[in-house]
Structure 1
Amino acid sequence: MIFKKLLFSLLSNWKIKHNQYDIEHRDFFLYIKEIRVNQGKTLKRLRPIPQGRGHRIRKRSSNIIVFLEKKRKT
């Protein structure tokens, strides 16, 4: 589900950036050349436990980088 949203957002951003191309009547197609998933920032929080102590909670995130490529139709 999240990846589907990512792809729709990617396509929408591409349309905005390259508005000189007509999406319906073009002589090329877009494909995903490469996908990279890296570790993003980690938010560190403390959760209280008995006797005045605390446990560390790490809320991890990730960065997803998608590269598009144009290829001519044959």
Structure 2
Amino acid sequence: MAEKTKLEKQTKQMVVTKKMQDAISESKKLVIDGASKVDAAKEVLSILKGHTKKQILHVFVEGVSLTRAGAHTYYYNLVTKKS
């Protein structure tokens, strides 16, 4: 099999769905209204069932206002039920 070109090695662009936009809006509202970031992240996970990890992390960063590292930590802890 031929080696992949540099372009083929690049990751695919992520598609931002309507559900993702809704989850960003909802999680921003929750945080503004005083909910914890953990609660907002749990809500995001419930809204985005069937979405990729990359898409969920994007919503954690944009909606819950987490850093990339924080988003990865929250994702791991919530998916493995540590929170």
TM-score under structure 2 normalisation?
Answer: 0.27
Question: Which entry has the higher C-alpha Rg, 1 or 2?
Answer: 1
- Relative to total residues, which structure has the larger strand share, 1 or 2? 1
Query: Larger RCO: Structure 1 or Structure 2 (Cα < 8 Å, ≥ 6 residues apart)?
Result: 1
TM-score under structure 1 normalisation?
Answer: 0.29
